[in-house]
Amino acid sequence: MAEWPTTVEALVAAQEALAEETPPPWRPTSEEPAVGACFVCFERGPSGPGRKGEPGWAGAAIVQRRHLLTTATVRGKAGAAYEPGLLALREGPLLEAAVRGLPGRPDALLVDATGRDHPRGAGLALHLGAVLDLPTVGVTHRPLLAAGEWPPDQRGATSPLTLGDTVVGCWLRTRRGTRPLAVHAGWRTDPATAVRVVTTTLRATRTPEPLRAARRVARDARAGRSS
């Protein structure tokens, strides 16, 4: 896919096509894969869905063996206001640019977005992976459409997130006493692989370390603390 769709109609068609694709599944070949992540933030201001053209800063990072290897940031503009199921219009090109700005490629990429948990089965986490030709995993605070009971309150516990009769992700307890994260199957990953990848990146905090690093550099760039 050479370019990101720029209209709702084109994005819906692209998502429907991506949902039908069956790329070969990916599995980590190492106990400690190099895991990347990307995150975008927009200018500070009133809460709400934002607007097309507002300034945005995207950060990307790679972590291996829980150590930060490298980061990259880019500045751009939002492609649209936020609308559920159409996040790729708003963030896709910015996130792609940040990941391509990294001096190396991770084995897999964490994305602050859903994958198969989507009205058309192809959320931004999956879409970005197809564009970059990278295995991806979505990590969000809550599902988009999927449902499932929370797992037991112990680190590493999981429970399925289902959409209809299909398991599209898992709840994952990253810390005791905190809300679990929704971990989503993305491009070339299934729910079990997605959980495995996220688990390799966990420290003492709730958020996986690559996403923490990507979020930090994006916010630093917005604050003018990096180029």
Total domains, the chain:
1
What is the tens place of the pLDDT at every residue in 165-221?
999 999 999 999 999 999 999 999 999 999 999 999 998 889 999 999 999 999 999
Residue 157 lies in a domain: yes
More confident residue, 72 or 2: 72
Q: What is the mean pLDDT of the chain?
A: 95
Residue 185 lies in a domain: yes
Residue 26 lies in a domain: no
In this prediction, residue 112 carries a pLDDT of 97
In this prediction, residue 47 carries a pLDDT of 74
In this prediction, residue 226 carries a pLDDT of 56
Residue 129 lies in a domain: yes
Residue 151 lies in a domain: yes
- The amino acid that residue 195 corresponds to is V
In this prediction, residue 2 carries a pLDDT of 52
Residue 9 lies in a domain: no
Kindly report the pTM of this predicted structure: 0.96
Residue 39, CA distances (Å) to 19, 125, 128, 210 in order: 23, 11, 12, 10
Q: Mean pLDDT, to the nearest integer, of 111-138?
A: 98
In this prediction, residue 34 carries a pLDDT of 97
Strands 166-172 and 181-185: antiparallel
In this prediction, residue 227 carries a pLDDT of 45
Structural domain including 214 reads: 35-222
Q: Is the pLDDT of residue 33 over 70?
A: yes
Residue 131 lies in a domain: yes
Radius of gyration of the chain (CA): 16
Residue 217, CA distances (Å) to 56, 146, 221 in order: 13, 30, 6
CATH of the domain at 47: 3.30.2170.10
Residue 6 lies in a domain: no
The backbone region for 192, taken as left when phi is positive above 0, alpha when psi lies in -120 to 50, beta otherwise, is alpha
Q: Is the pLDDT of residue 78 over 60?
A: yes
